[in-house]
Amino acid sequence: MKYFPIPPTLFSENRKRFVKKLKPNSLAVFNSNDIMPTNADGTMPFIQNSNLFYLSGIDQEESILVMFPDARNPAHREILFLKETDELIAIWEGHKYTKEEASAASGVSTIYWLSMFQSIFNTLMGECEYVYVDTNEHTRAKVEVETREARFVKKCLTQYPAHNYQRSAPIMHELRAIKSKTEVELIQQACNITEKGFRRLLNFVKPGVWEYEIEAELVHEFIRNRSRGFAYGPIIASGPNACVLHYVENNKQCKAGEVILLDVAAEYGNYASDLTRCLPVSGKFTKRQKAVYNAVLNVMKKATAMLKPGNKMDTYQDAVGKLMEEELVKLKLLKLRDVNRQDPANPLYKKYFMHGTSHYMGLDVHDLGSRNRVFEEGMVFTCEPGIYIPAEGLGIRLENDILITRKGPVDFMKNIPLEADEIEELMNSK
């Protein structure tokens, strides 16, 4: 891991909050992600399962966390099963957690090697009544491969069909929606690294630069600051590419007069950040580009102010839509007359602003959390309105990450240049 050690209290507190939600005499199991294969003997870089990480801080494959608060043996109330290491394995496979290291990282005192799992798990299953298993219930998840967790659940159901099975997902959605102080610090660190990457671009973007050259600048800056790299596939979209919402090719040359949309951000310690900025390739926006930019910025500022306790996602999204409507009329993209006659179920602004304004962010970029939950202190949302005009080869989106507090929204990205004038000034300074 490139990141600095995270205080294990984050994970032990998370476990405490999790087990409080369990029915009496319950056991809960969380499995790590697999190392995904590519071709021949190639693999993708390992990304830990976010729920396992949230509850253990263990950042290694083939790890299992078992929690059983009512276990007869107090040493079995929290157990981590890890891939065995010794000096020989260290030479061949590199460093893996020792039992001492795993205990220090997680705050779990009972660490067993994976070879012990079957027999200990069998004993525990003989004692418990409810078994909480982890299913991916993210509303936008499209999972075609069978995860390690899914394989485990299948096996468990076959082996122990008469237990009472429960879902961990609703609990994880509830807990992970509210960020603790340490999590806020980790997200801030991810945002600070993102800022360094973005500032590097202000003097780098010039007519003729290629989108992938920008991508390379960013990843260089991210990794040298202890990030694993991008928190999600970077979108570096110049000119008309900005209207392709999930553009990931990043292979076009940027031309003078175009605006380049950058939806690019670093991860740190498995926590995401999520930034979008738009730069004029020549260092100066045209009058029209600036008008669209400022329309989006105006909506963003007003939307950010609405990210406060008590508000709800649906009413918030509707209110942002109204703001956007006004701006689109001013930009002469919509006619007031048509807006007044529009079908409320299908508002006209969606032609130019077709995505949501905000999503939860945390360990995952599109983090766990219910859309129907009233906003509370400790939630982290992005704020990312946009206007996309394919006919003008122009797409503008601006995005910051916001912490909801009782004293008002706290912007993790308040130091990242945002005003059009400031962007132009920095791009033209040496």
Of 12, 1, 19, nearest to 108 by C-alpha is 12
With vertex at residue 178, the alpha carbon angle to CA 12 and CA 277, rounded to the nearest 5 degrees, is: 120
- Residues in 9-48 at the binding interface with Mn ion, rule: CB under 5 A: none
Of 157-165, 316-324, 325-333, 374-382, which part binds Mn ion (CB under 5 A)? 374-382
Amino acid identity, position 122? N
Burial class for 195, CB neighbours closer than 10 Å (0-12, 13-18, 19+): buried
* C-beta of 265 vs 334, nearer to Mn ion: 265
Q: By CB under 5 A, how many residues form the interface with Mn ion?
A: 2
Question: Smallest gap, in angstroms, from Cβ of residue 399 to Mn ion?
Answer: 6
| 8 Å CB contact between 259 and 290 | no
> Strands, E, within 201-275: which ranges?
235-238, 259-263
Residue 147 within binding range of Mn ion, rule CB under 5 A: no
Among 188, 250, 382, 400, binds Mn ion (CB under 5 A): 382
Question: Smallest gap, in angstroms, from Cβ of residue 274 to Mn ion?
Answer: 4
CA distance 195 to 218: 10
Question: Smallest gap, in angstroms, from Cβ of residue 401 to Mn ion?
Answer: 8
With vertex at residue 138, the alpha carbon angle to CA 105 and CA 42, rounded to the nearest 5 degrees, is: 60
Of 299, 254, 272, nearest to 396 by C-alpha is 299
Amino acid identity, position 51? N
Question: Smallest gap, in angstroms, from Cβ of residue 233 to Mn ion?
Answer: 12
163: which DSSP letter? S
Residue 304 within binding range of Mn ion, rule CB under 5 A: no
* C-beta of 282 vs 382, nearer to Mn ion: 382
Of 116-124, 172-180, 274-282, 343-351, which part binds Mn ion (CB under 5 A)? 274-282
* C-beta of 194 vs 382, nearer to Mn ion: 382
* C-beta of 304 vs 382, nearer to Mn ion: 382
* C-beta of 76 vs 179, nearer to Mn ion: 179
> Strands, E, within 181-325: which ranges?
235-238, 259-263, 276-280
Question: Smallest gap, in angstroms, from Cβ of residue 54 to Mn ion?
Answer: 20
Residue 274 within binding range of Mn ion, rule CB under 5 A: yes
CA distance 156 to 158: 5
Question: Smallest gap, in angstroms, from Cβ of residue 248 to Mn ion?
Answer: 14
Of 172-180, 226-234, 367-375, 378-386, which part binds Mn ion (CB under 5 A)? 378-386
Helix (H/G/I), strand (E/B), else coil: 268:
strand
Question: Smallest gap, in angstroms, from Cβ of residue 330 to Mn ion?
Answer: 25
Could you list the residues that contact Mn ion (CB under 5 A)?
274, 382
